[in-house]
Amino acid sequence: LPCYLNGEFTTLREAKVSVMDRGFIFGDGIYEVVPIYGGKPFRFNEHMARLERSLAELRIPNPNTLAQWRELVVKLASNYAQFAKVPLAECDQMAYIQITRGVAMRDHAMIPGLTPTVFAMANRMSQLPAAERAKGVSCVTADDFRWKKAHIKSTSLAGAVISRQISVDAEAVETIMFRDGMLSEASSSNVWVVKDGKVSGVPRDNLVLEGIRFGLMEQLCREAGISCELRRIPREEVLAADELLLSSATKEILPVTTLDGKPVANGRPGPIYEKLYAGYQQAKQ
């Protein structure tokens, strides 16, 4: 599989990083996952703005300009299409970008002046089969035991791995988490609650990763004339929702129809989901 590492286009087989890379030793790095539809990165500037914010939190310099990032991602998408022998225009992909602080002897402090390690690859975006999307998916709930800097798209993901495994063990697609009885997010997606035709999401703060679909959800709601409010959402409201939605780069917008083994409302994807999903497909064009 084609990839990029520290200035060179190479393959996953060839690409090698030092064992002293701080990404390996400390998870001292950040990442992005950018959808690419027909060779065109979707919401690219927003993704790169978040990458910039994540880097700033860790005081890692941004090694590329916006134009250089775009060029890199577009090239990776075209390399992947060539590799997979599919026309670029017909290929939905996702780019993964990771930047770590760099290579140094082990020391917790943010050693200044290191050369960041930059890794990126593009791969096929695996879509949920249409039949499953039409049924909606199962989720489970759990306590949010992660740290209080969830707004950083950090590669320190042990919390997300443990959280996700709770749903894997329950044969569900996501774990929806609560901190002190209040909704935060799922292990790798944001959560939206629909009640009486209105959409609610949680505030943009340090307790959740602000998905790039956050702003998009607000926009799609506005365009569809649906009210969308960001506020603290108690667990009871999630359990009593008319509809429950997940959003992420790879899930787009996905209806949750079973929660902890019980149906969400009538157990079928609802009308707000249908509208927002249609809007999302439109926005991709």
Of 111 and 219, which CB lies nearer to ligand PDD in the complex structure?
Answer: 219
Write down the least CB distance from residue 150 to ligand PDD, Å: 6
- Catalytic site residue from 153, 195, 251, 275: 153
Of the candidates 68, 60, 52, the one whose C-alpha atom is nearest the C-alpha of residue 4 is: 68
Identity of the residue numbered 243: E
Q: Which is nearer to ligand PDD, 188 or 258 (CB)?
A: 188
Enumerate binding residues for ligand PDD (CB under 6 A).
33, 160, 185, 188-190, 209, 211-213, 247-250
- Among this protein's residues, is 153 annotated catalytic? yes
- The number of residues in the chain equals 285
Q: How far apart are CA 182 and CA 235, in angstroms?
A: 6
Considering only CA atoms, which of 129, 125, 133, 128 is closest in space to residue 255?
133
Minimum distance, C-beta of residue 128 to ligand PDD, in the bound complex (Å): 14
How far is the C-alpha of 251 from the C-alpha of 253, rounded, in Å?
Answer: 6
CB of 119 to ligand PDD, least distance (A): 15
Q: Between residues 49 and 110, which has the closer beta carbon with respect to ligand PDD?
A: 49
State in angstroms the smallest separation of the CB of 192 from ligand PDD.
11
The DSSP line for 211-224 is: -HHHHHHHHHHHHH
Which token pair is 128? 């949920």
Computed on alpha carbons and rounded to an integer, the radius of gyration of the chain in Å comes to 19
Locate 154 and state its tokens: 């950090």
Residue (147 or 240) nearer to ligand PDD, CB: 147
Type of residue found at 244: L
What positions carry a catalytic annotation? 153
